[in-house]
Amino acid sequence: MGNAYAPQIGDEVSTLDTPSMIVDLDLMEANIKKLMSKLLPLGVNIRPHLKTTKSGILAQKLVAAGAKGGCVAKLSEAEAIIAASGFDDLLITCEIIGPVKVRRLVELFRKHKSIRTVVDSEVGASAINDALADSGIEEPINVLIDLDVGLHRTGVKPGEPALALAQHVAGLKHLKLIGVQGYEGHLQHLHDRAEREKECRASMKTLTETAEAFRKADHDIQVVTTGGTGTAEFCATVPGVTEVQPGSFIFMDTDYRNAVGTFYSNSLTILATVLSRQGPRAVTIDTGLKSLTTDSGLAECKDARYQYGVLGDEHGSLTWEHDGPGLEVGDRVEMIPSHIDPTINLFDVYYAYRKGVIEEIWSVDSRGKVQ
Ligand code: PLP
Ligand code: MN
């Protein structure tokens, strides 16, 4: 028989077991519309980062709204999203290093020639080239040079090192150098908007000047890709930037809301249940570390009168100051995640609703795909 609990389209959200990840479709669609109407008129391509949604269906919805392709961080995310949905217009934004991954990349590329990836070292680029040479595949894979524009996470340094790497890649028969990626992740959450814009423009100068230097050295650079939710609006206005990669805007989180404001709204929450009363102004709910991440601070209750605290893997507290009736055992609350990407990684499915009724159920295709 198994478990008879199987939420269906048409069910009321209020009938869901908890914790459950729920999406307000009206708000999500408004976020997508806002991004598209702000950025598309600037003439830039939008390749949303799917590290946020981890969903092929959502990738397709974004494309239907105007996006061109998607990004994934890891090779295994690309594999999972393609397997689930067939969506394969993907840029893998992390370096692919090590013989196992390189082999997997080659096998994925054999069937999906639209896959593109980044390199930031000669050894990394040569390994992919050599594996492709051994594979019998004739077409070269499209690659971008990953450039360090200030994040100091990955990326070759601008100037001579970048030019030398471009020269090396150009000499590899099975790699086709099509562009440059320069992700300024250290700026996404800068609270001061003027400072975020100023720093972003400095990073974009490094990025676009590098692209120009590559062109001068006879490399055919078509793609200059960058940006996230906190900076895409600035990147998109910079001549020479062809593509932006925002991810979190679709759902937002408290960390992003605190940094960039409420232009996009929190469209995803974690539905929770009060399990226990722990005093006149305190209850315990069924969301702890297994359903809400804490790397970017604590989640917030949508009803701002209640403050959240972590009580362990499965439990959290809600406390309040006001007099009169508070929360009781069995009550439902919605929690707003503090960092959306790793929170989604904790759930198998999204329940997407409109006006309280479940309209769609999506799987988190690349959940746990860390390789
Ligand atoms: N591009 C790259 C390379 C990233 O690593 C990220 C996020 O970490 C993004 C784009 C998207 O950023 P966000 O979710 O902040 O919009
Ligand atoms: Mn993130």
Q: In the structure encoding, which two tokens stand for residue 229, read together? A: 């939710």
Which of 332, 363, 334 has its CA nearest to residue 350?
363
Per-residue pLDDT reduced to its tens digit, 139-156? 999 999 999 999 999 999
pLDDT at 4: 84
Local structure of residue 157 (DSSP, 8 states): P
Ligand 1, atom nearest to 340 Cα? 14
Ligand 1, atom nearest to 245 Cα? 10
Check if 154 has its Cβ closer than 6 Å to any atom of ligand 1.
no
Which of 315, 354, 349, 321 has its CA nearest to residue 335?
315
Distance of alpha carbon 226 from the chain centroid? 13
Check if 248 has its Cβ closer than 6 Å to any atom of ligand 1.
yes
Which of 340, 330, 334 has its CA nearest to residue 364?
340
Check whether 345 has a pLDDT greater than 80.
Answer: yes
Predicted model pTM: 0.97
Name the pLDDT band for 192 (thresholds 50, 70, 90). Answer: very high
* Spatial distance between the Cα atoms of 157 and 162, rounded to a whole number of angstroms: 6
pLDDT at 2: 58
* Spatial distance between the Cα atoms of 123 and 233, rounded to a whole number of angstroms: 35
Q: In the structure encoding, which two tokens stand for residue 200, read together? A: 């972003």
Radius of gyration of the chain (CA): 22
Nearest protein CA to atom 8 of ligand 1, as residue: 185
List of domains in the chain: 13-20+263-363 (2.40.37.20), 26-251 (3.20.20.10)
ipTM over 0.90: yes
- Pocket test residue of 90, 149, 153, 183 for ligand 1, highest count of atoms within 8 A of CB: 183
Check if 245 has its Cβ closer than 6 Å to any atom of ligand 1.
yes
Residue 211 Cα distances to 143, 173, 241, 305, angstroms: 14, 21, 9, 50
